[in-house]
């Protein structure tokens, strides 16, 4: 499975509410870099994705780019209790598993909520 296929399957899984499938695509040694909170384990991040994903009323993918073992997604979300929210997400994939996720987003809406 190529990088973009892995990343899109992950994105489609969590945005479709299939959090178990999304977690299956994460490597056991997943590294996560996000502006708010810390997720030292795959399990802690998967739990956060399920919790936050359940609040997403809509997710609209704006752009998907990949090269080699890296991919980026840009998407807009409508999140219950937060409102409109834009996320840039950078992935590193090895052997069909996501080994690193870096997210960039404005933290003001989350902090206000």
Domain interval for residue 28: 3-112
Is the pTM higher than 0.85? yes
What are the tens digits of pLDDT across the range 2-15? 999 999 999 999 99
Q: How many CA atoms lie within 13 A of 71 on its CB side?
A: 20
83 to 25, 55, 58, 60, 110: CA distances (angstroms): 28, 10, 10, 14, 9
Residue 93 CB contacts under 8 Å (≥ 6 apart), including other chains: 3, 6, 7, 69, 70, 71, 99
CATH of the domain at 45: 3.10.450.50
| Residue 80: strand, helix, or coil | coil
Please indicate whether residue 51 or residue 82 has the higher confidence score (pLDDT): 51
What are the tens digits of pLDDT across the range 71-112? 999 999 998 988 888 899 999 999 999 999 999 987 676 666
Q: Is the pLDDT of residue 33 over 80?
A: yes
Q: Number of structural domains, the chain?
A: 1
């Amino acid at each position: 499975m190529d990088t973009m296929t892995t990343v899109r399957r992950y994105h489609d899984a969590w945005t479709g509410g299939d959090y178990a499938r999304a977690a299956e695509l994460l490597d056991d040694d997943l590294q996560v870099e996000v502006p708010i909170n810390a997720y030292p384990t795959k399990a802690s991040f998967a739990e956060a994705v399920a919790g936050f994903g359940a609040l997403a009323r809509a997710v609209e993918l704006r752009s998907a780019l990949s090269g080699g073992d890296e991919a980026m997604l840009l998407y807009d979300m409508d999140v219950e209790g937060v409102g409109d929210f834009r996320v840039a997400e950078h992935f590193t994939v090895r052997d069909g598993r996501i080994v690193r996720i870096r997210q960039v987003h404005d933290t003001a809406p989350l902090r206000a909520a």
